[in-house]
């Protein structure tokens, strides 16, 4: 059971309801994560506006979903791992590529650079070096895209913390986190 009661979107009004309506229109349902963070209209708007802004960014959905499963695994977030495995498949990424991304691996050197950078941002709590930024740039990412990688990581930390801290119940098919070594 969730540590935070889940908001019934149909019982909200005004901009609160409008955000829930947008989420429902996008997913065909309001996932439990949004119902939990939706206790606060401001927190819900913050999370949703980040999703929509990054959805219109330079990075494609496939890379965004690969970053999401990697960050979810590092942060031990079952909910986000399950959700982004589905979203990655919906974006056209095969299950094997999503599983590789969860482990921080890709056969594509550009994607690998983005995953390495993302993992370092999370594990080092953003204490990275100029060399780390140059490595992503050398892989073909513009400064705009590097800023978006950081934004994807930050959004996923927000969602991971929401789901882990509030023990949000899964409403996506369960995916196993990797074994810690």
Say whether both 68 and 133 belong to one domain: yes
Give residue 1's pLDDT. Answer: 83
Say whether both 113 and 153 belong to one domain: yes
Whether residue 102 lies inside any domain: the answer is: yes
Number of independent structural domains in the chain = 2
- CB-based contacts of 22: which residues, under 8 Å, 6+ apart? 48, 52
Say whether both 100 and 145 belong to one domain: yes
CB-based contact 19:44 (threshold 8 Å): yes
Give residue 56's pLDDT. Answer: 97
Say whether both 69 and 150 belong to one domain: yes
Give residue 27's pLDDT. Answer: 95
What whole-number percentage of the chain has pLDDT above 70?
100
Mean pLDDT of the chain: 97
* 101 φ, ψ (degrees, to nearest 5): -65, -40
pLDDT tens-digit readout, 64-77: 999 999 999 999 99
pLDDT tens-digit readout, 43-102: 999 999 999 999 999 999 999 999 999 999 999 999 999 999 999 999 999 999 999 999
Whether residue 181 lies inside any domain: the answer is: no
User: What is the residue range of 159's domain?
Assistant: 61-165
Give residue 124's pLDDT. Answer: 98
Say whether both 155 and 122 belong to one domain: yes
Of 66, 70, 58, 71, which Cα lies nearest the Cα of 142? 58
Angle of helix 61-74 relative to helix 41-55, nearest 10 degrees, comes to 130
Say whether both 161 and 84 belong to one domain: yes
Decide: helix, strand or coil at residue 7.
Answer: coil
CA distances to 26, 56, 140 from 42, rounded to whole Å, are 19, 21, 36
Residue 1 and residue 82: Cα distance in Å, rounded? 17
Listed in sequence order, the DSSP H helices in 13-172 are: 14-27, 32-37, 41-55, 61-74, 78-90, 95-102, 109-123, 130-138, 143-165
Give residue 78's pLDDT. Answer: 97
Residue 162 and residue 168: Cα distance in Å, rounded? 8
């Amino acid at each position: 059971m969730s540590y935070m009661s889940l908001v019934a979107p149909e019982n909200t009004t005004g901009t609160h309801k409008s955000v829930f309506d947008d989420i429902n229109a996008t997913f065909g349902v309001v996932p439990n994560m949004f119902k939990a963070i939706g206790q606060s209209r401001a927190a819900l708007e913050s999370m949703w506006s980040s999703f929509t802004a990054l959805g219109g960014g330079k990075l494609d959905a496939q890379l965004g979903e690969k970053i999401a499963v990697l960050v979810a695994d590092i942060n031990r977030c079952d909910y986000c791992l399950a959700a982004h495995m589905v979203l990655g498949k919906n974006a056209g990424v095969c299950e094997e590529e999503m599983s590789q991304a969860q482990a921080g691996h890709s056969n594509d050197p550009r994607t690998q650079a983005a995953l390495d950078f993302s993992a370092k941002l999370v594990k080092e709590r953003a204490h990275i070096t100029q060399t780390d930024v140059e490595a992503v740039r050398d892989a073909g990412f513009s400064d705009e895209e590097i800023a978006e990688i950081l934004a994807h990581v930050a959004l996923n930390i927000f969602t991971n913390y929401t789901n882990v801290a509030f023990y949000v119940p899964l409403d996506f098919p369960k995916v196993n986190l990797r074994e810690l070594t």
